[in-house]
Amino acid sequence: VHTGRSRFWGRMPLRLGVQGGWLSRPPALSPPRPQGPAVSDGFAGLELALPLEPRAADLWGPGSWVGAAPGPQSAHIPVPAQRAPPGRARLDEVMAAAALTSLSTSPLLLGTPAAAFSSESGLEPWKEALGRPPGDWDLASDPSSPSTPSPPLPPEAAHFLFGEPAQRKRKNSAQVMFQCLWKSCGKVLSSASGMQRHIRVVHLVPPGGPEMAGGRARTGGSGPASRQPFPPSSSANPRYVCVQGPGRGRVGRSPALQCPIPFLVPPRKPRGDAKKCRKVYGMDRRELWCTACRWKKACQRFLD
């Protein structure tokens, strides 16, 4: 059983270079590597478009691609911004890119020309939200909001979450909204603080252990992965590595350590050395492979 896939968040139009929950593409950053190539680094490739301005104009503008300036620790991931081949809506695509991760929050501009966001494809969450009277789908609908005020997320986290919502002189028709893109969440809130709280309460394991979570503890692995960004990773490698922020380089087993969530990642997974069906039987004896191997999935016969 592996623990869900990606567990990052970022702003909407960005995409994290993650595959299978393990960081992809080592190179670039190269922190001091204490060990051989097999176990070292591996998380420098984290690709973030942090410097991006969250303003819609920039994100969806005429340029077809947006990306972060290449830097020591941020390669850029181009994200199609405007047009997309028919059958695949652009927003859908961007959403997919973002949703590739588990969560992302982003300011949305409501009331802007529909063309900017119009999409036939499924975006149920905020499409729905759009249909409802403002203030209705706000915090009021958050089932898990205790009356007690809680401390805000660390400032860094907030930064990664929303950036500055660009306090434009608001044309009375435009309104900045925030959407939670945590896997299959999509909640839309009207304030950054509200979104922070939502994320903390609903998606984050509190820094005291999962059992301290509000009323209903989410201990085991039974719940939807969407609520377990930091699952009690299996006995083998119960660690997360902080790749950015105050706690950079530190390891721990929960987001409790000083690290903005987006940069708290599991270390790279080594490839097992067990020979799998493909290697054992060869391409010509494909019928002998286990089904998983035949389907290019993780082998079920020869486990690691």
Partner DNA sequence: GATGCCGGGCT
Partner DNA sequence: AGCCCGGCATC
Burial class (CB in 10 A: 0-12, 13-18, 19+), 63: exposed
SS3 of the chain: helix, strand, coil, percent, to 5: 25, 10, 65
- Interacting partner of 270 out of DNA, Zn ion, none (Cβ under 5 to 8 A depending on kind): DNA
Residue 183 CB, nearest distance to DNA (Å)? 10
Phi, psi of 115, rounded to the nearest 5 degrees: -55, -35
- Interacting partner of 55 out of DNA, Zn ion, none (Cβ under 5 to 8 A depending on kind): none
C-beta closer to Zn ion: residue 49 or 277 = 277
* Gap between the Cα atoms of 138 and 292, Å rounded: 44
**SS3 per residue for 142-166:** CCCCCCCCCCCCCHHHHHHHHCCCC
C-beta closer to DNA: residue 78 or 208 = 78
Tally of CA atoms within 13 A in the half-sphere of 74 that contains its CB: 16
| x-marked contacts with DNA along 261-300 as a string, rule CB under 7 A | -------x-xxxx-xxxxx--xx-------x-xxxxxxx-
| x-marked contacts with Zn ion along 230-269 as a string, rule CB under 5 A | ----------------------------------------
Which pair of tokens denotes residue 81?
A: 């911004």
Binding residue count for Zn ion, defined by CB under 5 A: 6
Pick from 3, 26, 82, 251: which binds DNA (CB under 7 A)?
Answer: 26
H-helix or E-strand containing 27? none
- Interacting partner of 25 out of DNA, Zn ion, none (Cβ under 5 to 8 A depending on kind): DNA
Residue 235 CB, nearest distance to Zn ion (Å)? 24
| DSSP type of residue 246 | T
Binding site for DNA (CB under 7 A): 2, 5-6, 17-22, 24-26, 38, 42, 45, 96, 100, 268, 270-273, 275-279, 282-283, 291, 293-299, 304
